Amino acid sequence: MPMSRLPTYFISHGGGPWPYMTGAFRRNFDVLEQSLVDMRHELVDKPKAILVISGHWETGGFAISSGVKPGMVYDYHGFPDYLYHIAYNAPGSPELAGRVRQILGEAGIDAALDPTRGFDHGTFSILKPLYPDEDVPVVQLSLHASLDPALHLAVGRALAPLRDEGVLIVGSGLSYHNLQAMRGSGGYEPSRRFDAWLRETLAEAGKERSARLTQWEKAPAARAAHPREDHLIPLMVVVGAAEGEAGAVTYHQEDFFGGLTASSFRFGQVPATADSTTADRLTA
């Protein structure tokens, strides 16, 4: 029986090492956590491997983590000491890393292998709730430091065949990422306006969607939502990998940290045997 083509996902990954925390701060992520549990259920079977494009890894050219046993990157500040000793112990996959490099090379896109790169919090914060058994191999692909949306859409188009090979492609960022404004109420309205544009845009499929994303700075409150677009660019890769397929909202919250709006998205269809309650839930 031929393998089903896997959908792609953009996940708004929340803040810091939240799955490993307890107490009031942890409660900010209850809705996000449930969406990741739903994602696991709608995928039905575990993928052979996961390719994560995280907003927390940028390199001068593209790089691919290729270690057998990746370590951890504690890329956050001001948390209790124990959160700098946590570990997500999923294996790496040198085989997948080599396959990604091959595919990109055939598309004329250079990428280097990095055997030392560990899991940053853009990766382990979503994978801990998604696959808590830590038994699915994980590879990361860096962002190109240019943060060029068209380039990252092209990378996604090149990587699309992986979806037929049992590889789950996940972009990890945030639909709203203005840390300064998040500390008060200044982000409430910009996050709402940009998120509305994003949901409308991502409901489309094909070239019109990609064209709008390459000009995302023209969206309402675009730069107020993303003063720097590192947490938006992973979206381009997963959209490029599913360019002709419709988008659906998998997580939407309008009271994130007291009033921010945040969303996650799926592109393409879930396996036919998935629970209908976790099927398409596109929110206009």
Structure confidence by residue, pLDDT tens digits, 173-222:
999 999 887 777 788 999 999 999 999 999 877 779 999 999 999 999 99
> pLDDT-based confidence at 279, cuts 50/70/90?
very low
User: Does the structure show a pLDDT above 70 at 276?
Assistant: no
Angle between helical axes of 30-43 and 121-130 (0-180°, round to 10): 70
Other Cβ atoms less than 10 A from the Cβ of 73: the count is: 18
Q: Per-residue pLDDT averaged across 15-30, rounded?
A: 92
Q: Per-residue pLDDT averaged across 32-37, rounded?
A: 97
**Domains in the chain, CATH or no CATH each:** 8-278 (3.40.830.10)
| Cα 206 to the center of its chain, rounded Å | 20
- pLDDT, one tens digit per residue, over 48-74 is 999 999 999 999 999 999 999 999 999
Burial (CB < 10 A; 0-12, 13-18, 19+), residue 266, is buried
Per-residue pLDDT at 93: 98
What is the rounded average pLDDT for all residues in the chain? 93
Give the residue among 133, 138, 112 at the shortest CA–CA distance from 59: 112
Between 256 and 112, the more confident residue is: 112
0.85 surpassed by pTM: yes
Per-residue pLDDT at 242: 96
